[in-house]
Amino acid sequence: MTRAAKTDRGSRPPDTDRETRDRLLDVAAVLFAEHGFDNVTVRDTCAKASANIAAINYHFGGKAGLYDEVLRRAIRIMQATTEEIRRAGEHQPPDARLEAAIRIFLMRVATTRHKWIHQLMLREVANPTPSFNMVLNDVLKPRMAYVRDAIAGIMGCPPGDPRVAMCVMSVQAQLLAIVNSPLANRLDSPPLTAERAGMLARHIACFSIAGVRGIART
């Protein structure tokens, strides 16, 4: 994918303060999540952020730089979630570690003000940009390694056992079915709200743990 800035690199906007930069990031995060990189323009982003047309070029070196910074912001937030999951599962048995991962993820999705993150990640997975490796290496692989190790612990087998990868996929599929709102609505799935997140997490955990144990016996 070619991602080129739409502004003159030599331009310097009159409003170069930190607040302008933060406004651009806030606006761009929502626009990129809703419309994708190619369908968001520098002009529209600056207009919605009440910024000079050259502000993106000045602060980020162009639209590609802005997008990368939005991804880095998302990565930092997702890494904080992963760290919270690790702390919750520390010194716990593997089934409790898996439930912690499910519960904290759903609670974050249901309650966070950064709802754009999940939508942006779905776009990156479906149509990766050159920046996707940042997401893959810094967020997805560490998060999946945690889930994989918990499932391997429940099964009593090495993490590299092929059955473990299949079980990880099954757990992830349940989470995606709930957090992907359009799909959930069409399948009449229970809506994910802050009030229901704990109940849904408990159901997925119980269902998954029982399934993993069943697979371990086969």
Range of the domain at 31: 18-61
Average pLDDT over every residue of 73-92? 94
pLDDT tens by residue, 102-117:
999 999 888 877 788 9
Reference 176, options 204, 206, 211, 135; nearest CA is 204
Average pLDDT score, the chain: 87
Asked if residue 184 has pLDDT above 60, the reply is no
Sign of CA dihedral 92, 95, 98, 100: negative
Same domain, 53 and 92: no
For residue 92, being part of any structural domain is answered with: yes
pLDDT band at 5 (very low <50, low <70, confident <90, very high): very low
Whole-number pLDDT of residue 106 = 92
CATH assignment at residue 126: 1.10.357.10
Beta strands (DSSP E) in 89-197 are none
d(CA 157, CA 189): 33
Whole-number pLDDT of residue 82 = 95
Look at the chain and report how many structural domains it folds into. Answer: 2
% pLDDT > 70, the chain? 88
pLDDT tens by residue, 121-168:
988 888 888 889 999 999 999 999 999 999 999 999 999 999 999 999
For residue 9, being part of any structural domain is answered with: no
For residue 6, being part of any structural domain is answered with: no
d(CA 191, CA 197): 9
d(CA 28, CA 6): 14
d(CA 33, CA 137): 20
CATH assignment at residue 30: 1.10.10.60
For residue 162, being part of any structural domain is answered with: yes
